[in-house]
Amino acid sequence: MKIIETELYLAKSATAGVKDGVSEAGEVSEVVFTPALSDVKAESAAPEFSACNGVGLCLGFFDGVHQGHRELLRTLIYECGKHGYSPDVWTFDTLPKFKRPGIVTGLLQTKEQRLHDLASIGVARTFIQKFTPALADLSGEDFLTKVVLPNLPVKLIVVGYDFRFGHNMSWGVEELANFSREHNIELRVVPPVTIGTETVHSAKIRTAIAAGDLSLAAKLSGRHFTLAGRVIKGNAIGRELGFATANILVDESRVLPPHGVYRSLTRVNGRAYRSISFLGIRPTVNEKQKHLQLETHIFDAAIDLYGSEINVELWEFMQPEKSFADLASLKSAIKQYCATAIKPNKVMEEMYLSMTVGNINVYYLPTDRFVLSRARIMFSLPLKPESAAVSVALSYLTSVTAAYPEENLLNKHLKNLYNASIYADGQKAGDIQETMIRVNALHQTPDGSKPFAEALDLALQCLLRPALNEKGGWRQDVFDRVKQNALDEWAAQQAYKPTAAWCKTLRLAFPDSVYSMSSIGDIEYLRQLSIADVERAYRETLSRAKVDIYILGRPDADLEAVLAERLPELAKFFTNPIVEIVPGRRPHPTSIQGCGSFTDNGQLEQSRLNVLLDTKIPYTSIKLISLALLNYVIGGDSSSLIFDLVREKHGLAYEIYTSILPFRSVLAVCAGIHPGEEIKTKTLLREALQEWKEKGLPEKAVARAKKMMQNEKLLLQDRPAALLEYYIRQLQSGWNLRPETYSEIVKAVTLPELQALAAQLEWKVDYSLQPTTDNKNFQEEMWGKIK
């Protein structure tokens, strides 16, 4: 990611003539921009201040940009996305140093790493202020009124629950709340993020790193501890021993883990390589060396890195630093360390960005625990009525290819690849259409062949070499078939009354919005779709879609070769993506617009009832995990509260359950109800909600739901398709939580926290689809049989 730095002294005019050193304190030394944000242009910063709708601001140093910081920043970006504000950060060039006995000191990140993380999360601008004695002497009020507000049209401030600032840290949340009310500024105070028994703080992460507990540090940070630098010339002893290394000098003012050997991941030139690293002073080869060095040996690649900037992520501490009697002993030990480090293990089983080629990102989840490997080639475009053309285009491309121009030929070839599968699929993420090609195949057979690498290669070729007619156009017969399949699928969905009722509920809740639209767009557009429309959608997808490839499977040289050959060719086409997935900004945040109670009649056996209960939680917030737990308590399964109330105690429903709308903080109740009992069911639900608000939730029900939810996340480890989908959603949410970490957060949710959340539930929309009157006798008979 490119970061542009520009010096901009915005505060000078505002502080001119101010006494007692405020002018010095008010100087902004630089502003860092993220050019990916379309409404902020680095080359013309000043005019944008007056042009934007306002500014949302986070204040702080953000060392480590850990999970607590990320919660703040995601909330900022979400709230700014709703109002059209610019999501900005005001920070400082140095961290005030407070020496306390027993406290680990040192920075978690370099300035460049900190700015990169802020930008990658979605921050538009970062204002870096010189931390001077004059600034330290300012009260909280003076800092805001004389430094910040004269420079920025602040409409929103987001801070943490323990935020303090101003001279002697005299101002906190209470003072800031009073100030915000007086100046008509919206204030959001974000509660702590707790993982297991740990509340996330920079100090805890520093302590974990210093102790060598990189797993805990990564869990609290949401990323792995990273050392960066330019590769320098070494004495080439590693090369002589058969283990060439890239060496960088280490800034010893940073907090550092113990000297020793580490499993690592090394990033250079848009690629991530599995590696093994040594942090220390190399006592065996240079007794006189005093400066600290990081030596990294990259697996599966022989590349000259001298002079290159590399980033080395330390994932796991393996062995403390030790001195060997001679080079032969050192070589033997290195060989053993490498043999251990290169094997996939539980620590390394985590999705990471493996490579970037042009605008194509490849994410890898390395594991050797499954026979099948899987890939998702995902195309993200704005969801609109015309999106049906994209879905049909992908189905066409995976039905026949230039190499296999008939469907039976392609199927035969896939069968020869040990029943590999390649097919198109689609879903929506808020206002984003996600169409994808799914690839599933055996990773390797006993005879040594690699079906998965071959299947992935074929899938990538499908995109560039469609089956054409003799005139060079798309084939009408294939188009007609895939279009009819799409129409049949749509008709089947609408014929299923629960789906039809759900679609109507979404249209009522989100009128005139794509949020109520199917993932394939508008049905009328699909009916009128022509082959010219599909060809045009294909060209748009090639040039304008955001493309991400997700792979679960064993690290493999054949797979690397396929990607190395095909991706540069693909990258020539995907040159102008129009969608940037930034949690909180895209998918765009939205609230339920339609409110009320609605009823329709239709030909169905049982009534359908859907209720939407809204909350104020940003869909990006890690607190959405608490809402997921509440979902389990209220209607997650046959032991849930509303199932017991509505079906078991009152016999009003044959099914009733709850779910959470993706990319919304909305709890949905869905039920199949005995005709004529709709009003009674709604009354019971309203009374239950009120009772939970007033008396709280049953402790036993919460404990049972916690256990069930924790087990479900842990069982993901044995379900590869679900595990891959889980990590994709983690990346899209910005959480970056391993399943076991997710489970720990569930465990840490308190009963009062859950009860407070239940009290926030707001009944917004209910919709009933009831049988027509002439079907009443038939329904009564059917209901009697069900009872």
Note whether 497 and 581 are within 8 A (CB): no
Determine whether domain 4-192 maps to CATH 1.10.357.10.
Answer: no
Q: Where in the chain is the domain with CATH 3.30.830.10?
A: 354-571, 596-786
Question: In degrees, to the nearest 5, what angle opens at C-alpha 1 toward C-alphas 249 and 570?
Answer: 120
Angle at 59 between CA 56 and CA 61, to 5 degrees: 140
Query: Containing H/E element for 669?
Result: strand 666-673
The mean per-residue pLDDT over the stretch 296-310 comes to: 88
Q: What is the reported pLDDT for 737?
A: 94
| Cα separation, 705 vs 631, whole angstroms | 9
In sequence order, what are the residues at sequence separation of 6 or more whose Cβ sits closer than 8 angstroms to the Cβ of residue 470? none
- CATH 2.40.30.30 boundaries in the chain: 224-348
Architecture of the domain spanning 596-786: 2-Layer Sandwich (3.30)
Token pair of 449 as six digits: 């062949």
* Alpha-carbon span 625 to 749, nearest angstrom: 9
Confidence of residue 691 (pLDDT cuts 50, 70, 90): very high
> How far from chain centre, in Å, is Cα 543?
24
Q: Which CATH architecture has domain 354-571?
A: 2-Layer Sandwich (3.30)
Beta bridge partners of 190: 160
The DSSP 8-state label assigned to residue 775 in this structure reads G
Instruction: Give the β-pairing of 596-602 and 762-771.
Output: parallel
Q: Which two tokens stand for residue 765?
A: 């929309």
Sign of CA pseudo-dihedral 695, 699, 704, 710: positive
pLDDT surpasses 80 at 98: no
Residue 592 has pLDDT above 50, yes or no: yes
E strands, 201-347, are 226-230, 246-249, 260-268, 271-280, 293-298, 309-320
- Please report which confidence band the pLDDT of residue 638 belongs to, taking 50, 70 and 90 as the band edges: confident
Alpha-carbon distance 643 to 654, whole Å? Answer: 9
Asked whether the predicted pLDDT for residue 48 surpasses 50, the reply is no
Angstrom distance (rounded) from CA 234 to CA 232:
6
Q: From 401, 394, 197, 224, select the one nearest 315 (Cα to Cα).
A: 224
CATH of 224-348, one of 3.20.20.105, 3.10.20.90, 1.10.3720.10, 2.40.30.30: 2.40.30.30
Q: Where are the alpha helices (DSSP H) in 122-267?
A: 133-136, 140-142, 173-182, 202-210, 214-221, 237-240
The pLDDT value given to residue 753: 92
Which residues neighbour 474 within 8 Å (Cβ) at sequence distance 6 or greater?
Answer: 396, 466, 467, 468, 531, 534, 535, 538
Tokens of 420: 């590999």
For tokens 């629960």, the residue is 498
pLDDT at 342: 87
Token digits of residue 712: 């479900």
pLDDT in tens, 327-373: 777 777 888 888 888 887 888 899 999 999 999 999 999 999 999 99
Percent of the chain with pLDDT over 70: 88
- Interval 199-258: pLDDT, tens: 999 999 999 999 999 999 999 999 999 999 999 887 766 666 667 888 999 988 899 999
Residues near 19 by beta carbon (within 8 Å), at least 6 away in sequence: none
> Looking at the predicted structure, is the pLDDT value of residue 304 above 60?
yes
Top-confidence residue, 511 or 5? 511
Express as a percent the part of the chain with pLDDT over 90.
68
The mean pLDDT of the chain is 87
Binning pLDDT at 50, 70 and 90, where does residue 16 land?
Answer: very low
- 553 close to 443: Cβ distance less than 8 angstroms: yes
Question: What residue ranges of the chain are covered by domains with CATH 3.40.50.620?
Answer: 4-192
Q: Are 323 and 283 in contact (CB under 8 A)?
A: yes
pLDDT surpasses 70 at 297: yes
Phi, psi of 783 (to 5 degrees): -65, -35
